[in-house]
């Protein structure tokens, strides 16, 4: 999936969490922004991703050490990170959850790609794939459009509640 698709997935998750939890404006905005940013985090291991290019030295080192869709596409890594964050900073639980939620949308979307994700890494490198939506395809464009509509609808629902 492209960065745009991942960002809209993260934004949609953030907006709908804001609606569900009836967050005030500032918290809803922060939650959506953090979830959107989180949706890019797993691709720090890809040399040409938006986040890797933004954090050039870090992205290059991570890509070299771990390769693409290894540790940084393993859900348990982020679950542990989230739990540790909540224990260390319980006052920021909503924002830590937003970050992990955005990361989760990334992994879910990548599981729709023919490359899939290594669900049980490092114990197994077998990749799980649900659909076969190729990056840059018409199917991805439709998915991206649907996520954009979801962000719009979620935002509307937040404002009317």
Q: How many CB atoms lie within 10 A of CB 51?
A: 19
The answer to whether the CB of 153 falls within 8 A of the CB of 8 is no
What's the pLDDT score for residue 12?
Answer: 98
Task: Kindly list the domain boundaries of the chain, sorted by start residue.
Answer: 3-160
Q: Characterize 102-132 residue by residue with b for buried, 16 or more Cβ atoms within 10 angstroms of its Cβ, and e for exposed.
A: bbbbbbbbbbbbeebbbbebeeeeebeeeee
At 161 the pLDDT is 80
**What is the tens place of the pLDDT at every residue in 74-130?**
999 999 999 999 999 999 999 999 999 999 999 999 999 999 999 888 888 899 999
Give the pTM.
0.93
Q: What is the pLDDT at residue 9? A: 98
Cβ burial, residue 134 (10 Å; 0-12/13-18/19+):
middle
pLDDT of residue 21: 95
Residue 43: DSSP 8-state: G
Alpha-carbon distance of 94 to 76, in angstroms, equals: 19
d(CA 147, CA 161): 21
Span 133-147, average pLDDT:
97
Q: What is the pLDDT of residues 8-28, one digit of tens each?
A: 999 999 999 999 999 999 999
pLDDT tens for residues 25-72?
999 999 999 999 999 999 999 988 889 888 888 888 988 888 888 889
C-beta separation of 130 from 112 below 8 A: yes
């Amino acid at each position: 999936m492209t960065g745009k698709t991942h960002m809209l997935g993260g934004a949609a998750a953030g907006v709908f969490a804001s609606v569900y939890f009836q967050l005030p404006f500032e918290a809803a905005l922060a939650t959506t922004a953090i979830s959107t940013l989180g949706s890019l985090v797993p691709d720090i291991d890809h040399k040409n991703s938006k986040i890797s290019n933004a954090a050039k030295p870090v992205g290059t080192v991570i890509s070299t050490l771990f390769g693409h869709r290894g540790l940084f596409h393993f859900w348990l890594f982020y679950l542990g990170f989230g739990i540790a964050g909540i224990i260390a900073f319980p006052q920021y639980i909503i924002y830590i959850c937003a970050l992990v939620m955005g990361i989760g949308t990334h992994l879910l979307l990548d599981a729709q790609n023919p490359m899939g994700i290594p669900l049980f890494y490092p114990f197994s490198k077998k990749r799980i794939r649900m659909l076969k939506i190729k990056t840059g395809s018409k199917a991805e464009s439709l998915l991206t459009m649907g996520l954009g509509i979801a962000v719009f609808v979620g935002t509307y629902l937040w404002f009317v509640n």
